[in-house]
Chains A and B, each alone.
Chain A
Amino acid sequence: MRLPYAVDRALVYAVALLLAAWVLVPLYFIGLAAFSTPDAAYSYPKALLPVAPSAETMRFFLDSRGVVSSIVNSFAVALLTIVIALLLGAPAGYALARFAFRGRDAFAVLVLTTKMFPIAILSIPLAVTFLQLGLYDSIVGVALVHSAMALPFVILVTSGVFVAVSHELEEAAQTLGCSRWTAFLRVALPLALPGLAAAAIFTFVISWNEAFASTILTLRSRTLPALVLTALDQSPITFKFAGGFVMAAPAIAFIFLMRRYLLNLWGGR
């Protein structure tokens, strides 16, 4: 049986609305509590609309020492991580996709084994090494660790992407005067861009949410999760909401920025 067009559309929109509400309703309540007076946040039952709007909690949170600089640090670390992870991971993914070499399957598995190693065990040796190398308490140091965490995903995602980019197109470009490098740069890379954007978003989220390595490896140059995670655990709920809002909002903004590249991947209209 075929549904009438209007019913079909209505169902699609209903499901879309449900999915959107699934994500947006909690964010709405977080935002609501973050911008309410403490009394309103404590009251029960909770108000559904902003009855006592106040930026007081938010202002105190953002004025707390280190919060603004930690947001900046978080972005810097995440972006640096994306650059390092893609510079190292994309060529590795390309090699896995294009070349048959001895130990290729073993390499693909080996890449994943790094995810099997719990970083908590490494905390003291890692901190000692970074102290000795002078990388301790620096953004570059944290970005290096985050890159190591993100690389397995980047390599596997990009190799999948490059497999999907037709090898014939690159060869055709080479017959028309491209070198192997320019063929990659002008043909394979643009076609792979949506996939690379997906890898970049993934890397961003890994780095943005990571707290353990950043906590262990920094004192003053802290990222946002490292700065607020312990503090918020033991703070009044209004600060939990303010911190949650500040944690979530930039990540959502970043994903919106990258969204157009993803839509390419999924055949957006």
Chain B
Amino acid sequence: MNARSIVIVLALVITACSTQGTPSGGAAATDQGSGFVFASTQFTPTTEQEAMRTKILAGYKGAPVDFITDAEGVILDRITAEAKAGGAGKVGLIGLENGQFGSLISGLQDLGSTMDKYKGIPADFVGLGKLGTATQYYVPWMQATYFLAVNKKALPYLPSGADVNALTYDQLITWGKNITDKTGKRMIGLPAGNNSLLHRLLQGYFYPSYTGGLVTTYKSADAETMWGAIKELWKYTNPQSTTYAFMQEPLQSEEVWIGFDHAARLINVLKAKPDDFVAVPAPAGPKGRYFMTVLVGLAIPKTTANQAGAAALIDYLLQPSTQIATLRENSFFPVVKVDIPGDLNPGLKLEADAVAKQAGAKDAKPVPLPVGLGAKGGDLNKAMVDTFQRIVVKGEDIRTVLNEQAALVQKAITDAGATCWGPDGSSTGPCQVK
């Protein structure tokens, strides 16, 4: 190939390729206005994206929708840019976690008048959708939580008197010790790798269960006790945990027997081997069985060209049949009242039971995701994961690390101007680390 033919080929390729991707997804458009983008921080894994486009949205008959997912920063930047640029934006609907809406408030439509249509959404979820104001900025869409997936091979090593469905953290540690003593292996797994959700386990499980708070008790004496317990747990935790992002993979390869993670990050192994596994509620600490409820909501930016189309898509996503499809395909649980079908996949059934047992436990106390941190949420998460790294992985002195990291936690919260939330109660100014 000589130089000239290369140039010609380049020119042809560029001309041929300079077209925009065409919107698809959903079914053929009826008269519902122009197509729009549904941007979300959820369903980023390839398989979940495809399930969303080809199955969950399959029954939607409105305007053509392009479902696009990306990391939180990218999605928020893009929506902010559309709001600043003015004119008609391409993004018609956004689906974010409760804590991710904060910085977008001024660009979101009031959805208050539509809430009557959606039956059975718990009142505290509806309240979260107001983001601490009187305006309904988002409509709750779906929910998830975290719990333990346990290989049945681990059950014979349960400490005597322990009920696997009502464990305490102390029993979990003893359980891990029993396994290590008998098999020589460390078979507990924590998601402590890159892109893991370890910070959520600290924020919604360990901290409140041991200290009754998070920010206000960050460096308390109870927190010292908690970190001591996590260090003890780590002795029986597979050291490869620092590479795990999703616990379903090491559970499937039997590198670990007991894994603590987000429902969507356990589902593949439960679906693949439902007979070999049980799913059980998170353990309880001295202050109770705290667990985190992940609430994902839907909001419409003011800049969208097709308000009616976006509202119609919300209607569709909140229909009981769509909510069940979302559970079946991507393992997020319904927010509206639905009858869970009897023919549910056995893996999903395990999860649904664990979720019900966890929420229904006598000592159960739900915690939301951090509220009001907006873009500073990442700083808070990093400060907490770094605390874990320094104390548990590197073995630094607990008191020293807590004092140093507490300053970073405080900075993230003060920078965001976030008041106390969840287990910390409420405050007038930024929540104060104690």
Give the interface of A toward B (CB within 8 A).
42-44, 60-61, 64-66, 69-70, 72-73, 75-76, 79-80, 82-83, 123-124, 127-128, 131-132, 137-140, 193, 215-216, 219-222, 228, 230-237, 239, 243, 257
CB within 8 Å: A-B pair count: 125
Give Cα A69 to B17, complex, Å.
9
**Do A230 and B70 touch (CB < 8 A)?**
yes
**A42 partner residues in chain B, CB cutoff 8 A:** 249, 252-253
Could you give 8 example pairs across A and B, Cβ below 8 Å? A124-B81, A128-B84, A131-B81, A131-B85, A215-B74, A236-B47, A239-B45, A257-B1
Segment at the A interface, from B20-28, B227-235, B306-314: B20-28
Instruction: Report the minimum CB–CB distance from B165 to chain A (whole Å).
Output: 28
**Do A231 and B53 touch (CB < 8 A)?**
no
In this complex, what residue of B is CB-closest to A77? Answer: B17
**A64 partner residues in chain B, CB cutoff 8 A:** 46, 49-50
Instruction: Report the minimum CB–CB distance from A51 to chain B (whole Å).
Output: 16
**Do B249 and A83 touch (CB < 8 A)?**
no
**Do A137 and B90 touch (CB < 8 A)?**
yes
- Is B143 positioned at the interface, with any CB of A under 8 Å from its CB? no
**B160 partner residues in chain A, CB cutoff 8 A:** none
A124 touches which one: B20, B47, B54, B80 (CB < 8 A)?
Answer: B80
List residues 9-57 of chain B with CB under 8 A from any CB of chain A: 10, 13-14, 17-18, 20-25, 37, 39, 44-47, 49-50, 53-54
Give Cα A131 to B249, complex, Å.
41
Give Cα A145 to B409, complex, Å.
36
**B326 partner residues in chain A, CB cutoff 8 A:** none
Give Cα A257 to B17, complex, Å.
20
List residues 87-102 of chain B with CB under 8 A from any CB of chain A: 87, 90-91
**A66 partner residues in chain B, CB cutoff 8 A:** 21
Give Cα A98 to B161, complex, Å.
86
List residues 236-277 of chain B with CB under 8 A from any CB of chain A: 245-246, 249, 252-253, 255, 268
**Do B195 and A131 touch (CB < 8 A)?**
no
**Do A231 and B195 touch (CB < 8 A)?**
no
User: Helix, strand, loop or mixed for chain B's interface?
Assistant: mixed
**Do A219 and B46 touch (CB < 8 A)?**
no
**Do A215 and B81 touch (CB < 8 A)?**
no
Q: Which 9 A-B pairs have the closest CB atoms?
A: A76-B17, A127-B81, A131-B85, A235-B45, A220-B21, A235-B46, A234-B45, A128-B85, A221-B20
- Is B68 positioned at the interface, with any CB of A under 8 Å from its CB? yes
Beyond A65-B49, A66-B21, 9 additional contacts (C-beta under 8 Å) are A43-B253, A61-B46, A82-B10, A83-B10, A128-B85, A132-B87, A220-B21, A220-B37, A231-B44
Give Cα A140 to B17, complex, Å.
11
Give Cα A44 to B66, complex, Å.
39
Encoded as 1 (CB less than 8 Å from any A CB) or 0, chain B from 349 to 380 comes to: 00000000000000000000000000000000
**A236 partner residues in chain B, CB cutoff 8 A:** 45, 47, 246, 249, 268
Give Cα A182 to B283, complex, Å.
80
Chain B contact-residue range equals 35 or more
**Do B17 and A72 touch (CB < 8 A)?**
yes
**Do A124 and B84 touch (CB < 8 A)?**
yes
- Is B77 positioned at the interface, with any CB of A under 8 Å from its CB? yes
Instruction: Report the minimum CB–CB distance from B209 to chain A (whole Å).
Output: 27
List residues 53-83 of chain B with CB under 8 A from any CB of chain A: 53-54, 66, 68-71, 74, 77-78, 80-82
**Do A73 and B50 touch (CB < 8 A)?**
no
A219-B37 CB under 8 A given contacts A65-B50, A235-B46, A236-B45 = yes
Give Cα A60 to B20, complex, Å.
23
**Do B24 and A65 touch (CB < 8 A)?**
yes
**A123 partner residues in chain B, CB cutoff 8 A:** 77, 81
**Do B87 and A131 touch (CB < 8 A)?**
yes
- Is B221 positioned at the interface, with any CB of A under 8 Å from its CB? no
A233-B195 CB under 8 A given contacts A219-B66, A219-B78 = yes
**B1 partner residues in chain A, CB cutoff 8 A:** 257
In this complex, what residue of B is CB-closest to A134? Answer: B87
> Residue among A138, A219, A236 with the most chain B CB within 10 A?
A219
> Residue among B10, B18, B44, B53 with the most chain A CB within 10 A?
B18
A128 touches which one: B54, B71, B81 (CB < 8 A)?
Answer: B81
Instruction: Report the minimum CB–CB distance from A247 to chain B (whole Å).
Output: 14
**A70 partner residues in chain B, CB cutoff 8 A:** 21
**B39 partner residues in chain A, CB cutoff 8 A:** 219
Give Cα A128 to B44, complex, Å.
25
**B86 partner residues in chain A, CB cutoff 8 A:** 132
- Is B3 positioned at the interface, with any CB of A under 8 Å from its CB? yes
Give Cα A215 to B69, complex, Å.
11
Instruction: Report the minimum CB–CB distance from A180 to chain B (whole Å).
Output: 21
A139-B18 CB under 8 A given contacts A42-B252, A128-B84 = yes
**A137 partner residues in chain B, CB cutoff 8 A:** 20, 90
Give Cα A230 to B10, complex, Å.
30
**Do B81 and A73 touch (CB < 8 A)?**
no
